Amino acid sequence: MEVKLPVPLGTQLQRAAYWTSAPHVAELQAWAKKWGDGPVVKLREAERNGVPAGLAGWAAMGATPAPREELARRDALREKIVTTADLLREALQRALSAPAPRARSRAAKKPSQRV
């Protein structure tokens, strides 16, 4: 689905997503710096880069896997990241679930006066 927004509103949307997510992104970056990719990812990357299987295995063995608690923490941080798509989906969901505005009845309108 395509959504066209006025530039000021689109800019505000991007900034809202960025600043809401910034602390969580920084924490994820720190997490990645501490724990790295882990042995499985290192093995896949080595194989993808043409490293022989034996050397790839040695490279992967040197990687320390993150404990389950840390993996859960990483997943929780990922859940806190807000994207512009998240904000647009939420706005659309709210718009569709909001009660429709009531139209004025003809009796409630004041008759126009002609001069």
Residue from 60, 33, 35, 36 nearest 46 by CA? 60
Predicted confidence (pLDDT) at residue 106 exceeds the cutoff of 60 = no
pTM (two decimals): 0.66
Q: How far apart are CA 75 and CA 94, in angstroms?
A: 27
User: Average pLDDT over the chain, rounded to whole?
Assistant: 84
Q: pLDDT digits over 51-79, tens only? A: 787 777 777 776 677 889 999 999 999 99
Buried b (16+ CB within 10 A) or exposed e, 24-46: beeebeebeeebeeebeebbeeb
Residue 39: closest CA among 67, 55, 59? 59
pLDDT at site 108: 56
